[in-house]
Amino acid sequence: MGKRKKVDIKKRRQKLIKEKKKELQSKSIKVEKKSTKDLDLRLEKETKLYWIRAITGFLSAIIGRLIFGLIGWFLFLWMLTWWFIFPFIVNFFILKFEYDKEEWAWKNIILPGIGIFFFLFMIGGVFTHTILFFIPDFSSILEIFV
């Protein structure tokens, strides 16, 4: 039996710890990027749709009441038109989102921002109608030009 080599256990242990840390960091980074990539893209799309719906809700109420003079059921139908049709126009023609056949569902387009759309539509419509109520013999801007 020959002489055994002396091994510095502290140095070897520190070296092994560093190697393990590097392996764990590289594995965790790879796993995080792959698993959340699809989720991040979907959330980014939904966030854009949410804020577009918020702006659309407020502006459609003001435009419908101020410019066209819509009141009652006509304003309700105006709201439903913007609520259900405009998100598809934004998705496919303005933002040009691409959906996989397996991923696509009309619910993914209609659902983001329904509450904020309705809330801001009501606030914008009520506020505009209240302001216009105090102006005598005025119902819309189109009356001025026609």
pTM over 0.85: no
SS3 per-residue string spanning the chain: CCCCCCCCHHHHHHHHHHHHHHHHHHHHHHHHHHHHHHHHHHHHHHHHHHHHHHHHHHHHHHHHHHHCCCCCHHHHHHHHHHHHCHHHHHHHHHCCCCCCCCCCCHHHHHCCCHHHHHHHHHHHHHHHHHHHHCCCCCCCCHHHHC
Q: What is the pLDDT along the chain (146 residues), one digit of tens a residue?
A: 567 777 777 888 888 888 888 888 877 665 555 555 666 777 787 888 889 889 999 999 999 998 888 889 999 999 999 988 888 888 788 877 777 666 667 777 778 888 999 999 999 999 998 988 888 887 778 777 76
